[in-house]
Amino acid sequence: MYFYELINEVERLNTASKIFGISERINYKSSRTEKLHKYGNSFRAHLPSKEDKEKNGIYCFLNREKEILYIGKAASGNISREMFAKIPKPVVVDKKNDIATFENNYWAGSNLPQHAIECISKGEFYIGFILLESSEVTSKMETYLQVIYSMVCNGKLPPLNKRVG
């Protein structure tokens, strides 16, 4: 299932206060130097914007094809902290070639699908997020979107989700 399909579902429900499309790809392998200069060594300063960092919302990690890997929520006015708790600061593995990885991500070492964990570990992912007004709506929306995903994908959850909710 693709992120735009979730966006369409949220728009249909008309509950989102602000809907963002897909962020720039965060890829610390190809064209990494350009990304680091653009983000001043930290994309965290730009995703989400300063005024939206302490809001409620749903966030998704997506693979290269923009298929959903994970659906999560931030219902305590902390979308930025929740998103980035899953992917701590990258580990520089080759300073000369400016290559870093997210090897210490939330899912590393778990028994979840390795192809999905590898996307995150290598920094080959996108982040999409939807801001919502209340924590109650945010919690319900996360569950709703995970159930929709499951219905579309023959009863499966996104690869990095262990359970609904």
Residues 103-143: tens digit of each pLDDT: 889 999 999 999 999 999 888 888 888 888 888 889 999 99
Per-residue H/E/C for 68-106: EEEEEEECCCCHHHHHHHHCCCCEEEECCCCEEECCCCC
* Threshold 0.75, pTM exceeds: yes
Task: Please say if the pLDDT value at position 101 is more than 70.
Answer: yes
Alpha-carbon gap, residue 25 to 41, rounded angstroms: 15
How do residues 151-165 score in pLDDT, each as one tens digit?
999 999 999 999 998
Residues 97, 81: Cα–Cα separation, whole Å? 29
CA 116 to chain centroid: 12
Predicted confidence (pLDDT) per residue in 11-24, tens digit: 777 666 666 555 54
Domain segments of the chain as ranges: 3-152
